[in-house]
Structure 1
Amino acid sequence: MVWHNRELRASAGLALMLVIAISFGGGGRSAPLANLIVQLAALLALAVSIANLREFLLAVPRGLVVLIAISMAIPMVQSIPLPPTVWTALPGRELVSESLALIDASGTWMPFSVDPSLSLLAFIGLVAPLTVLVLAAPYRAQQIRAGLLALLGGALVCLFIGSVQFASGGDALDFYAGGSVNRLAGTFANHNTAGIFFVILLCLLVSAQKDWFPSPFVNLGPRIALGLVFLIGVILSQSRSSIALLLFPALVLVWRLYCAHTLMKWSRRSLALASGSGALAIAMVALLTFSGGRGAQSIERFESLEDLRPAIWADGLVSADRFWPVGSGMGTFDDVFQLDESLEHVTPRRAGRAHNDYLEIAIESGVLGLAMVLGWVAYLGSLTWRSLRSRSDLLPLGASAGLACIALQSVVDYPLRNQAMLCVAAFLVVILVSGVSDVRGKGASRG
């Protein structure tokens, strides 16, 4: 009974944490007060979940714990002061050294990062996804079901806010400046992040068996309707990368049909409902695309693939070379990029991000950061390969598809540079680990 009560509290805390993150954490570094709400909620949840923290350390696969520890250690270590003989020998510190010499402070101890406050901020930003991983331990069915319910609720809230933004022309519920009133963003500052969020939900929706969902979504009809709503959300986001990544939920659906031989097992009524829903989906997508509204604008964006990204990447490679192989410190891209931005690429707007998270990690953390990324790819890739052996529960495969979408969008954007998507990604990791480790009924095995 004690375990049951603690599991209920942890499930409720996990759901609440995800809802808070999606509601307030979609703004990235440009929304410090909203991020503070998410981070304070995470710290409070950790403070009252010591038992779950112990469960996380003891029951969750060892490889996952090590990767999390390394990811959180990098920005923390970068903030530790070093003697002048050490930090002045690091690549790219010449301007810092010259600046200190002007005020006769050459002997000052300086940290690894060129701006330790930003690196500490990057460390604090990892507390919320860590909380999701801790509250879900040891990754049983009850926690996963609670998290799925929270994601569905958060997505509907995001769509509602986006619809209000559309209806008011951006005058109502516009939380973040700089967005476009023609693109659905909802609770996110970046329409690309909103788009990938709905793509991830589609991956989970088409892979999950009906017993994962609460009423009324146990029935096929409401789940298909919900999928259509998420599909519309992706299209209205006008995110080219997200629309292209709709291939992943489609592939997961095909794999599910193949594994379960669904067409042979369905009743005539279910087959007719699925066929009708499919036809309705195609009709709605066609209507949105060719009716001359915002759906058509989404497709029109593919007519011109030219933007400022190649110029940012070219200058970003120069920054990466300047600080290679150690990096400039997590969170410092926007500051150090100004040193190497070419005059012919300068515009009234700042780049802000590298629009390629792998390049940004190379600039900020050098070879160690890229090694960390490879570690995550190898670990999650191995779990995905093992999840393919299961033909009965494809939810882990759907989570893996969602993580793959994040990884691919990171080539042209920065989906994980906000608290909301960090928490969503952490929950996807929970689902993937749970399915492979068979922890839903017996507790996690070490891996």
Structure 2
Amino acid sequence: MKPQDGLPAIFLTLCVLLGGASAAGAIANGFLQLAAILILGYVGVTRRLPLVPAARALVMGLALFGAWFLLQSLPLPPEIWTRLPGRGVVVGVFAAAGSIPGWEPLSLAPDATIASMLALLPPAAMATLTLVTTERARRIAIGTLVTLAIGAALLGVVQVLAGAGSVFYPYNLTNPGKAVGPFANRNHLATFLLCAIAMLGASIEHHGPRRSALAFLGVAVLAGGVILTGSDAGLLLLAVVLTPMLIRAIRGHLTRQATRWSLVAAVLLVSAASICAFWQGSSDVVAGAEQRRGVTIPRTFAAAIDHLPFGAGGGSFPTIYPAYTDAALASPAFVNHAHSDYAELLLDHGLVGLLLIGAAWGWWGLRVRTGWAGNPVVRAALMVVAIVLVHSVVDYPLRTAALATVAAFAAALATGQPPAVAKKHHRSRPSRQLSATFDLS
């Protein structure tokens, strides 16, 4: 295997293992951003491929979003920024201090805006690398994604059995006693496992009964992991993802004995995980372990309306949100995100955020219309993108480098961009086996 064929899988692995938190892990995220810069430079120097329209739209969208972060960080004359909505408090601070307002950026949290712009680097690098790499490199990366997800699900089991405060939790700020895997948030583990289930579904649909039976067992482990997280949105999405997959499997493979036994094993594993999750939930007496979305989301929308049309700036939520809380109900709990990426995008970016949401769903809808009936990998990748977009309604998966990179990988696969043509060379046995496992062409 050529080293560059393993690069997407290696970078994906680093992002999943190091980028599982949005607020914590600053050093790890900084390392991933530096690696992303090197990858983008490598691709820019060594790879030149014509892009299909969907791929061009994806690259252009990422570039424009990064440019908007930069624009939010540029200083503006006081004649402009003092007249923008939501800037009255800042003007009042200058007046109370007896100072004359000077040049200030559009963002009310410029340091956080720069950090948010840098957070775009890992997903941008993953998407770009995926678009220009070979078919074998993509298959190896898919296999790596599924392997990492199964490992994450098993780690979640260990975390639940070990209990809160065990050494198996990678972050201090986390859901104690819950299955979080390599993440800080159990909902993010659920999203990650759902993405892997969607990719395994492509293998079940394409391959014969023997390999499909192994894929079914993998799906069972991943589904059990989703149930173990106790994520409400994860459980709902699990039903949505599994239903069409099982229908296709029953129609195509039910008469085959190997698949019948794998289905039985899948049902038993998922049932066991359900019982374990119910027991864990019934014994959970920790109050305030979850932020209430019914409170944070409406308040974030109210703040977003007050800062239209340009928003308060990327990453400004922790700065702006406290002003919209009820002081009488104050608690030590720290709300770092709105638990709805759509609401937070509107607060951070105003009408540009609304345009971004519409563009993401519009791009996905066009790709479903033109690419759903084609390659099963494209279809699975579109399911992954849909999982992330839907879960973002009540959570913030794309605020972590790990899930942002997974989503970017899936989006690149969903473009239908033809892979680079690999030169003939001798392939080692492990590389040949892993590549063949996810050969969905």
Whether the aligned pair in 2 keeps the contact of 1:210 and 1:218 (CA below 8 Å) is no
Opposite residue 337 of structure 2, the aligned amino acid is: R
- Per the alignment, residue 81 of structure 1 pairs with 75
> Superposed, which structure 2 residues align to 1:31-430 within 5 Å?
31-51=25-45, 54-55=48-49, 61-138=55-132, 140-169=134-163, 170-208=165-203, 219-254=211-246, 256-257=248-249, 262-263=252-253, 271-290=256-275, 293-297=276-280, 308-390=292-374, 393-430=375-412
> What is the CA-CA distance between 1:139 and the residue it aligns to?
5.4
> What is the CA-CA distance between 1:186 and the residue it aligns to?
1.2
> What is the CA-CA distance between 1:173 and the residue it aligns to?
2.8
Whether the aligned pair in 1 keeps the contact of 2:205 and 2:249 (CA below 8 Å) is no
Whether the aligned pair in 1 keeps the contact of 2:5 and 2:133 (CA below 8 Å) is no
Which shows bigger deviation, 187-196 or 34-43?
A: 34-43
Separation in structure 2 between the aligned mates of residue 353 and residue 244 of structure 1, nearest angstrom: 22
> What is the CA-CA distance between 1:413 and the residue it aligns to?
1.0
Opposite residue 277 of structure 1, the aligned amino acid is: S
> What is the CA-CA distance between 1:157 and the residue it aligns to?
3.6
Which shows bigger deviation, 23-32 or 97-106?
A: 97-106
Separation in structure 1 between the aligned mates of residue 90 and residue 260 of structure 2, nearest angstrom: 65
SS of the counterpart of 2:399?
A: coil
Opposite residue 378 of structure 1, the aligned amino acid is: G
Opposite residue 338 of structure 1, the aligned amino acid is: P
Distance 1:212 1:348, change over 3 A: farther
Separation in structure 2 between the aligned mates of residue 50 and residue 27 of structure 1, nearest angstrom: 29
Whether the aligned pair in 2 keeps the contact of 1:315 and 1:342 (CA below 8 Å) is no
Whether the aligned pair in 2 keeps the contact of 1:252 and 1:397 (CA below 8 Å) is no
Whether the aligned pair in 2 keeps the contact of 1:88 and 1:97 (CA below 8 Å) is yes
Opposite residue 125 of structure 1, the aligned amino acid is: A
Separation in structure 1 between the aligned mates of residue 390 and residue 282 of structure 2, nearest angstrom: 20
SS of the counterpart of 2:386?
A: helix
Over residues 96-150 of structure 1, what are the superposed CA-to-partner deviations in whole Å (9 max), with x where a residue is unaligned? 1222334444241100000111000000000000110121123542232122122
> What is the CA-CA distance between 1:287 and the residue it aligns to?
2.9
> What is the CA-CA distance between 1:272 and the residue it aligns to?
1.5
> What is the CA-CA distance between 1:209 and the residue it aligns to?
5.8
Distance 1:52 1:413, change over 3 A: farther
Whether the aligned pair in 1 keeps the contact of 2:39 and 2:125 (CA below 8 Å) is yes
Whether the aligned pair in 2 keeps the contact of 1:10 and 1:135 (CA below 8 Å) is no
SS of the counterpart of 2:373?
A: coil
Distance 1:299 1:50, change over 3 A: farther
Which shows bigger deviation, 139-148 or 410-419?
A: 139-148
Opposite residue 311 of structure 1, the aligned amino acid is: V
SS of the counterpart of 1:208?
A: helix
TM-score with structure 2 length normalisation? 0.86
Whether the aligned pair in 2 keeps the contact of 1:239 and 1:298 (CA below 8 Å) is no
Gap runs ≥5 in structure 1: none
Separation in structure 1 between the aligned mates of residue 91 and residue 212 of structure 2, nearest angstrom: 64
Distance 1:256 1:58, change over 3 A: closer
What's the RMSD between the two structures over aligned residues?
Answer: 2.9
> What is the CA-CA distance between 1:319 and the residue it aligns to?
0.7
> What is the CA-CA distance between 1:374 and the residue it aligns to?
0.6
Gap runs ≥5 in structure 2: 285-289, 423-441
Over residues 64-109 of structure 1, what are the superposed CA-to-partner deviations in whole Å (9 max), with x where a residue is unaligned? 2221122212211110111111111111011112223344442411
Separation in structure 2 between the aligned mates of residue 105 and residue 351 of structure 1, nearest angstrom: 32
SS of the counterpart of 1:48?
A: helix
Separation in structure 1 between the aligned mates of residue 75 and residue 52 of structure 2, nearest angstrom: 33
Opposite residue 172 of structure 2, the aligned amino acid is: A
Q: Percent identity?
A: 25
Q: How many residues align?
A: 417
> What is the CA-CA distance between 1:442 and the residue it aligns to?
7.2
Opposite residue 228 of structure 1, the aligned amino acid is: A
Opposite residue 396 of structure 2, the aligned amino acid is: Y
Separation in structure 1 between the aligned mates of residue 248 and residue 371 of structure 2, nearest angstrom: 13
Whether the aligned pair in 2 keeps the contact of 1:56 and 1:134 (CA below 8 Å) is no
Over residues 24-74 of structure 1, what are the superposed CA-to-partner deviations in whole Å (9 max), with x where a residue is unaligned? 000112221121222122223233333356447799732222211222122
Over residues 196-225 of structure 1, what are the superposed CA-to-partner deviations in whole Å (9 max), with x where a residue is unaligned? 110111111012368899xxx982332222
Whether the aligned pair in 1 keeps the contact of 2:310 and 2:350 (CA below 8 Å) is yes
Whether the aligned pair in 2 keeps the contact of 1:192 and 1:237 (CA below 8 Å) is yes
Opposite residue 248 of structure 1, the aligned amino acid is: V
Distance 1:351 1:275, change over 3 A: same
Which shows bigger deviation, 355-364 or 96-105?
A: 96-105
Distance 1:121 1:47, change over 3 A: same
Which shows bigger deviation, 418-427 or 70-79?
A: 70-79
Separation in structure 2 between the aligned mates of residue 140 and residue 55 of structure 1, nearest angstrom: 11
